Amino acid sequence: MSSNIDQNEVNKFSNIAEKWWDPKGEFKPLHVINPLRAKYVASKINLDGKLVLDVGCGGGLLSEALDDYGATVMGIDVTEKNINVAKHHAEQSNKSIEYLHLDAKSLMQSKEEFFDVICCLEVVEHVPDPSKLIKDCSNLLRPGGLMFLSTINRNLRSFITAIIGAEYIFNILPKGTHEYEKFIHPSELASYMSKAQVRLIENKGMFYNPITHNAHFNNDLGVNYISYGKKES
């Protein structure tokens, strides 16, 4: 695998990998926003029969949701325990999703096919070089294909909300899940996409209520947000 991997991040998610499919556990927020994320992707492209890559697939929450929309899904992750959990759950759910323990660069070196859609959600803030990851993803995307990215803005409000609030006050995320320095301004993400020949089409904010555990999209990019763009021909 490439050097664009933070082993501390791998260890962090490896330690809680068995909790991926517990809707009341450490990944509860992802269970809440997952249908929202999948519906957003499906609203931008008819996924039926499309070849979709889920980069940093974790335990397979998004992969399975995209499969439900008719996509042919491959999920990759650098944490082996995540892949094992994803494979096991897919088997239990009778889903034919291909899961591989590798990163985007390694997949690029071993696969000759290009994907119609690439999703890399809640991942770019966990790698040493997000620009490089986005470039590697772009190299796997066919011309005209769509890329979906989501992450957290970097400002005082996001620090209070996503770290202090989520990890220490409401305890909806394990302490240490996020590092403020790795948060990414929307303008930075747009620049990374542009350098990877992906034209930004839209940004949308994602709001998660830690009290009611409801989520919705809005136009506020202050904390969580999702971006999508098209690979230039």
Predicted local confidence at residue 73, as pLDDT? 98
Q: Write the pLDDT tens digit of every residue in 123-169.
A: 999 999 999 999 999 999 999 999 999 999 999 999 999 999 999 99
Predicted local confidence at residue 78, as pLDDT? 97
CATH code of residue 147? 3.40.50.150
Task: Evaluate whether residue 144 is within a structural domain.
Answer: yes
Predicted local confidence at residue 189, as pLDDT? 98
Predicted local confidence at residue 62, as pLDDT? 98
Provide DSSP, 123-187: -GGGSS-HHHHHHHHHHTEEEEEEEEEEEE--SHHHIIIIIIIIIIIS--S-TTS--GGG---HH
Task: Evaluate whether residue 113 is within a structural domain.
Answer: yes
Give pTM, 2 decimals: 0.96
Predicted local confidence at residue 156, as pLDDT? 98
Task: Evaluate whether residue 77 is within a structural domain.
Answer: yes
Report the C-alpha gap between 71 and 91 in whole angstroms.
Answer: 17
Task: Evaluate whether residue 2 is within a structural domain.
Answer: no
Task: Evaluate whether residue 208 is within a structural domain.
Answer: yes
Task: Evaluate whether residue 1 is within a structural domain.
Answer: no
- Dihedral over Cα of 125, 129, 130, 134: its sign: negative
Predicted local confidence at residue 107, as pLDDT? 95
Report the C-alpha gap between 29 and 33 in whole angstroms.
Answer: 6
Task: Evaluate whether residue 176 is within a structural domain.
Answer: yes
Predicted local confidence at residue 41, as pLDDT? 98
H or E, element range at 72: strand 72-76
User: Which stretches of the chain score pLDDT less than 50?
Assistant: none
Specify whether the backbone of 21 is left (phi greater than 0), alpha (psi in -120 to 50) or beta: alpha
Predicted local confidence at residue 145, as pLDDT? 98
Predicted local confidence at residue 43, as pLDDT? 98
Predicted local confidence at residue 56, as pLDDT? 98
Task: Evaluate whether residue 183 is within a structural domain.
Answer: yes
Total domains, the chain? 1
Structural domain range at position 104:
7-231
Reduced to 3 states (helix: H, G, I; strand: E, B; else coil), residue 83 is: helix
Query: Could you give the angle at which helices 80-92 and 7-15 cross, rounded to 10 degrees?
Result: 40
